[in-house]
Amino acid sequence: MNHQNPKADALTEMTALEARERLIGGTLQASELTDALLERISEREADIGAFAFLDPEQARLAAKRADDYRATGKPLGALHGLSVGIKDIVDTADMPTENGTPIDAGRKPRKDATIVTRLHAAGAIVIGKTVTSEFASRQPGKTRNPHNPEHTPGGSSSGSAAAVVAGMVPLAIGTQTAGSVIRPASFCGVVGFKPTHGWIPRTGLLAHDRALDTVGVFARNVADAALIADTLVGYDPLDADTRIMPPPRLLNSALSEPPVTPALAFVKTPLWDLADSETKESFVKLASTLGNTCAEVTLPEIFSDGDRAQRTLMGAGIARNLGPYYEHGKDQLSDYMRQAIEKGRTIPAVEYIEALETRETLNDGLDNLFDRYDAILTPAAPGEAPHDLGTTGEPIFNALWTMCGVPAVTLPLLRGPNGLPVGVQLVGRRGEDARLLRTARWLTSVVETA
């Protein structure tokens, strides 16, 4: 696509870290960067449909405030002047939050979600709300894949992934209960990072299931993902799964060199047969290219229960948390959502409790693996984005890791037979997100120089 403004293009193609250095150093104004991003959005939004809500004047005012604040000489936040897209299931007091459903059309939350408060405190500009599938589930929204608009961008964080790859924003927020960060990042060809469950608070977000729901981020590279995640991690007394912990220093770790060459476990998972043949070939070739640093590891048989256990937790959680929408607006739900809530209501309590116990058993097995390996190497999706806007694709290579609550990151390192991106997923031990991001940046450099 030919753009008319080379200077604006140069600004929108910068990494978040590059832009931050210039913003803090004073060689770039937040207003300049915001105008360039808004120009890119106006060029591409009609084709891609990444935004559920956008108010350019509001964004420009926020950028002017950032520039005025910098002029005072006071200390600047880690995200000073950087624009962020926010998935439209995250409450924003000054923008509608509609959860991808006509039932919530025009809904205006009374206050910001905790993560939005943290973004503002870090100096970020919330440029708009990005499209989510219906209730962050499987019924697609309007977003198209920027690489080929006839292909799905994935879901449910479709708008966030598409906006980053299209140069509309350098950073974006998503959420994952099955594969809603990692899968669209794979399909759209960006970095998607889902931290350890409970690291980022979910206060003010649409809930699916407490045991699974995780906030994640999208960026163009690993360091940028670490930059924004650093500002979001931390204890929130209103989210019982968060905990008091020292700052994880994710960016510092991501930028550092591993003390020794990382060891990777190539794990096909019990669902390997569902991957496209080209994806299988690419991963076998990648593992071979990595040589002695990568060994194939077979998970114990009990891991074949992981996918089923995740579906049990999510099914019951959706029935519980989205039940009121069913009661008051059933006719405005998709067939998929109606059926999901009805099915979820039939899940026995004992089955839900067993699924929670399965999670701990699986993590015991993973701890043994992570005693020997820095990260698991595995597909992020079965293959390229499907040529079908009626689907968001399958989360079959994500659900197990979400179930276990472990950190995962996908890297846009491979291409499929149609030239579309295919993500390489790395999975780490619970709580070792910094180590995972350091390994991810190392792998990116190894593959790019191979």
Percent over 70 (pLDDT), the chain: 99
Do 194 and 181 contact (CB within 8 A), yes or no? yes
Count of domains for the chain = 1
Q: Which residues carry out catalysis?
A: 87, 156, 180
Residue 5 pLDDT greater than 90, yes or no: no
Q: What is the mean pLDDT of the chain?
A: 97
Residue 365 pLDDT greater than 80, yes or no: yes
Overall size of the chain counted in residues: 450
61 in a domain, yes or no? no
* pLDDT average, residue stretch 371-392: 98
Residue 195 pLDDT greater than 70, yes or no: yes
113 in a domain, yes or no? yes
Which of 113, 202, 218 lies closest to 156, judged by CA? 218
The string of pLDDT tens digits covering residues 29-82 is: 999 999 999 999 999 999 999 999 999 999 999 999 999 999 999 999 999 999
Give pLDDT, residue 3.
54
The string of pLDDT tens digits covering residues 205-229 is: 999 999 999 999 999 999 999 999 9
Q: Can you tell me the distance from the alpha carbon of 125 to that of 109, in angstroms, rounded to the nearest whole number?
A: 18
185 in a domain, yes or no? yes
Look up tokens 């689907």; give the residue.
391
* pLDDT average, residue stretch 321-348: 98
- What CATH number is associated with residue 270? 3.90.1300.10
The whole domain housing 302 covers 83-450
283 in a domain, yes or no? yes
The string of pLDDT tens digits covering residues 115-155 is: 999 999 999 999 999 999 999 999 999 999 999 999 999 99
Do 393 and 187 contact (CB within 8 A), yes or no? yes
Pair type for strands 191-194 and 125-130: unpaired
Beta bridge partners of 62: none
Which of 227, 216, 156 lies closest to 14, judged by CA? 227
Other C-beta atoms within 10 Å of 73: how many?
A: 7
183 in a domain, yes or no? yes
427 in a domain, yes or no? yes
Residue 273 pLDDT greater than 70, yes or no: yes
Confidence of residue 449 (pLDDT cuts 50, 70, 90): confident
Give pLDDT, residue 7.
86
* pLDDT average, residue stretch 403-432: 98
385 in a domain, yes or no? yes
Alpha carbons within 13 A on the beta-carbon side of 197: 20
As a whole number of Å, the end-to-end CA separation of the chain is: 29
* pLDDT average, residue stretch 157-171: 98
Q: Can you tell me the distance from the alpha carbon of 249 to that of 234, in angstroms, rounded to the nearest whole number?
A: 11
246 in a domain, yes or no? yes
